[in-house]
Structure 1
Amino acid sequence: MGNSRKTRNTRKIAAIAAGALVVGIGATYTLASWNDSEWVWGGAGGVPGVGTSTFEVRQNTTSPFSDVEPSWANRETNSGGGLTFTAGAITLSPGDTIYAPVALRTTSDSAAATVTLNQAVPATAVTVVDNSQDLWKSIRVTVYTEKRTTPAGPTHTCTAANAASWGTPLISDVTLDTAASTTQTLDAQAGSTQHYCFALRLPATLQAGLTATSLDALQGRTIAPAWEFRSVSG
């Protein structure tokens, strides 16, 4: 009888030991598993690979046109850069026309641009003498334009002798409150220059819709029109 009890106890111990062995093997398998992770990021060589483009258009009002770097500037609010008109701009007589150039292009790190010339508005912080805006309503504006590969200047100078040689105007002999209906394209990274030639004419006859009853009433008046070139990337 004693031997039978010993035999049963031995079997229990063996069974317990076998169970422990199974548990032990399971635990060892979990602890000994291998892991491998792979990461990627948006870029390479320490340089970010995701970002936004740059968009910037600058103007140049030198006359005659000069492509040297200081001639280009950002003037993004009214009244902007001053146009250099031909002689007699402040002493117009009926029938006179004055001319002034401006050029636009993108910066060297900019996306391309589509440009629209808006209608003139009064320049801010500039004192003028123009009761009833009769001079403003009288002036007629023509704008010629030409696209050139940087750094070339315009084919023709913006003067009375050469303005018509620019070809079909962007706007032609219209009131100052007239916007252009077509757009121009500036190539990316300063790849092209769009030249504009503004021609302002004081008609030799009195225009309709004025308070003034004669051309003589327009003497001694001043105006300061400002134009916005609205640029959109693309």
Structure 2
Amino acid sequence: MTSVDPTRKRRKIRAVLASGLVLGVGAAVTLAAWSDTVWGSSEFGTGGSSFNIQGSFDGGSTWAEYLTADAAGTMTFTQQANALVPAEPVYQLVGLQEVEGNFGADITVTKTNADTSALANLVTVRVAELGTGAAAPACGAGAPFGAGTTIGAASTQVLSTTVGAGDYRWLCFSAELAANAPATAAVTSTPILWEFAATSTDA
């Protein structure tokens, strides 16, 4: 057997150890170079999706929410709705406005209650869809009225319309006493309630 020079053997061991140390340092540097971090922060809320429909019953001078039947806006009608004359309609302009500007709305108009007075089957109400924009349009005989409903009828949807985000929609109501209404003592109907139900649509 050939003997190994101890000095030569020690040189090989040192070379291997040195290689290991170099590789070890190189691996650590490589791992550090491939490490990275990104941070993100977010907040959540509903301010950008707010939605609000307001109504006006005075030609656009006053706008409010009128959120409940107990706080309904007053519809007075022109030519005095409490002094009806047979076959002579009276008119009421109603404005609807989406004030936030984020979403439009589908709107249904419903007469929600029924009159039980002697006028129940003698007063007919019709509704017409008018234009958009801030300027109040004319509301009168020339409006495109739909089918009528008597104030004594059960809850009835009378119109379906829309309003754009941040825009206006105007409606015209007419009320007419039947031509054959008898000349009787003064009669006042039950307050007739109208619901303008708005459902938001995509912006």
Q: When the two structures are superposed, what TM-score results if normalisation uses the length of structure 2? A: 0.72
Residue 173 (1) aligns with residue 148 (2): yes
Q: What is the distance in 2 between the residues matched to 1:221 and 1:180?
A: 23
Verify the 8 A CA contact 2:80 2:90 in the aligned structure 1. Answer: yes
Q: What is the distance in 1 between the residues matched to 2:69 and 2:11?
A: 96
Cα RMSD, aligned residues only: 3.6
2:63 to 64, 72, 78: 72
Summarize the alignment of residues 45-194 of structure 1 with structure 2, pairs less than 5 Å apart: 53-62=49-58, 65-66=59-60, 71-79=62-70, 80-92=72-84, 95=87, 97-121=89-113, 132=116, 135-148=119-132, 150-154=133-137, 156=138, 158=139, 163-166=140-143, 168-169=144-145, 171-176=146-151, 177-180=155-158, 183-190=160-167, 193-194=168-169
Q: What is the distance in 2 between the residues matched to 1:201 and 1:106?
A: 30
Q: What is the distance in 1 between the residues matched to 2:94 and 2:187?
A: 27
Identity %: 21
- State the Cα distance separating 1:23 from its structure 2 match: 2.8
For 2:130, the aligned partner's letter is E
Q: How many residues align?
A: 191
1:228 to 190, 195, 198: 195
Q: What is the distance in 2 between the residues matched to 1:74 and 1:97?
A: 28
Secondary structure of 1:76's partner? coil
Deviations 1:158-193 (A, max 9, x none): 3xxxx2212x21x33223433135x32322223xx3
- State the Cα distance separating 1:91 from its structure 2 match: 4.5
Q: What is the distance in 1 between the residues matched to 2:69 and 2:199?
A: 18
Q: What is the distance in 2 between the residues matched to 1:219 and 1:102?
A: 27
Question: Residues 35 and 137 of structure 1: is their aligned pair in 2 closer, same or farther, counting only changes over 3 Å?
Answer: farther
- Structure 1 stretches lacking a partner, 5+ long: 123-129, 207-213
Question: Residues 134 and 22 of structure 1: is their aligned pair in 2 closer, same or farther, counting only changes over 3 Å?
Answer: farther
- Structure 2 stretches lacking a partner, 5+ long: none
Question: Residues 17 and 141 of structure 1: is their aligned pair in 2 closer, same or farther, counting only changes over 3 Å?
Answer: same
Q: What is the distance in 2 between the residues matched to 1:227 and 1:42?
A: 47
Question: Residues 153 and 221 of structure 1: is their aligned pair in 2 closer, same or farther, counting only changes over 3 Å?
Answer: closer
- State the Cα distance separating 1:9 from its structure 2 match: 6.8
Could you say which structure has the higher helix fraction? 1
Q: When the two structures are superposed, what TM-score results if normalisation uses the length of structure 1? A: 0.64
Verify the 8 A CA contact 2:117 2:188 in the aligned structure 1. Answer: no
Q: What is the distance in 1 between the residues matched to 2:120 and 2:8?
A: 117
